[in-house]
Amino acid sequence: MKSTARGSTRSSSPKRRPLKPARSTCTALVLSDGSLRRQREWDLYQVSCRRLEARTQEFKTFEQEELTAHRLWIESHFAKELTELRSLQLKLMEQVELIALVEDYADRAEISQALAYVRIVEAKANDSLAELWLELETKAHSGADTSDEDNEFENVWKEFEELFSDDFADSFETSGKSDHDSFASQKSQRQGKTKGSPRKEPSLEEDSLKSLYHKLMRLLHPDTNPEQSLEQKAQFLAVQEAYLASDIERLEKLFEQITSSSEGLFKADEASISDIMGRRKQVEKRLRELTKQMSSAKLHPAWGFLLRQQNPKQLKRYSQELKAEIVDELVNARYELLETETVLRSWEKKAKRASQPKASRKKLSGRGASQDLHT
């Protein structure tokens, strides 16, 4: 107790704050109308469907009309150049293949490339190229002796058998089993220790098959869709048959066929919000896949060719650019063909020189020297 100046006494305990009323942790459940949310999701779903239909139509136009029109236009305007280019490319391909065969045969047979060239050309003329390669393989297998390492290994193994042959015989006699029988018995014992077979986990394909089947059943089952049409009943039976046959491709085609229309099997006022959102996700997934395909298709020169064909200036500019590209390819093909022909001619000349006897070579060289002196 403390005394004040007036002699009165006052308590030293602190003041107590007034208690606040306790907050209730229980909130009342309020029924809310989901029609606005449903309508908003349905509008978004309709927008996605319209975008998908527009992209699909655009891609079909490119595949069915623009590619064909572009090919026919090129064939009609650059027929001469394209025919020459194709013939050069075909000839170049044959010569490149011949050079590769000659080099491979020369390496395996350990002969000169000129001699390999002569053999390959003769075999191709006689249609006996396969027999030539078979002869080379048989010579390689039959003529080649075992290597030093193989001989050393065989000698060591013989010494090992001589040293331990008695021990092996005793062990086999006592056991009365071969290696295969003993291994089989040990394997069966190990398998006998395990109780039951391990549980087989479902694969990803089985999971996707089941999930796709459940989605289709939610859309087509009579309990969720009592007013079924004849087409929907047929689709319901087709889904069951595809699921029993584990045909996931057929289920995917049925799912795309069912969900392709904007309205589908339900209406905005009857469908649940989750169903609308799930269907919108499927449409957006297909839209993303189609967008990727279109991004690669836009790199093709036939993309937008129908619009370009209606503009004479753009078509003339494109024709000049395409002609320049074809001319460049012709020049490159001729240059590469000249290089391959030079290689083949050099092999042919070397083969002719090698086939001539030495005396004729000296005479030819002497004639050449005398002609040089007269000149």
Q: Are 350 and 106 in contact (CB under 8 A)?
A: no
Cα separation, 79 vs 274, in Å, equals: 58
> pLDDT, tens digit, for every residue of 307-349?
888 999 999 999 999 999 999 999 999 999 999 999 999 998 9
- Residues contacting residue 73 through CB under 8 Å, at least 6 positions apart: 305, 309
- pLDDT interval class at 203 (50, 70, 90): low
Answer positive or negative: Cα dihedral of 122, 124, 129, 131: negative
Q: Which residue has the higher pLDDT, 365 or 77?
A: 77
Mean confidence (pLDDT) of the chain = 75
User: Per mean pLDDT, which of 6-15, 136-145, 152-161, 230-239 is the most reliable?
Assistant: 230-239
Contact 45, 280 (CB under 8 A): yes
H and E: helices and strands count for the chain:
14, 2
Q: Tell me the per-residue pLDDT of 147-175, one tens digit each, with 9 for 90 and over.
A: 555 556 566 566 655 665 555 455 444 44
Per-residue pLDDT band at 200 (split at 50, 70, 90):
very low
Structure pTM?
0.50
Is 301's pLDDT higher than 80?
A: yes
pLDDT score, position 215: 80
HEC-encoded secondary structure of 209-278: HHHHHHHHHHHHCCCCCCCCCHHHHHHHHHHHHHHHCCCHHHHHHHHHHHCCCCCCCCCCCCCCHHHHHH
Cα separation, 375 vs 364, whole angstroms: 16
Q: 373 vs 108, which has greater pLDDT? A: 108
Q: What residues does 10 pair with on adjacent strands?
A: 2
Query: What are the tokens at 84?
Result: 């020459």
Measure the CA angle with vertex 246, ends 244 and 251; round to 5°. Answer: 95
Find the mean pLDDT for residues 212-217.
82
Based on the number of CB atoms within 10 Å of its own CB, is 41 exposed (0-12), middle (13-18) or buried (19 or more)? buried
End-to-end CA distance of the chain: 146
Q: What is the pLDDT of residues 228-255, one digit of tens each?
A: 677 777 778 888 888 888 888 888 877 7
Residue 207 has pLDDT above 80, yes or no: no
**Percent of the chain whose predicted confidence (pLDDT) is above 90:** 21
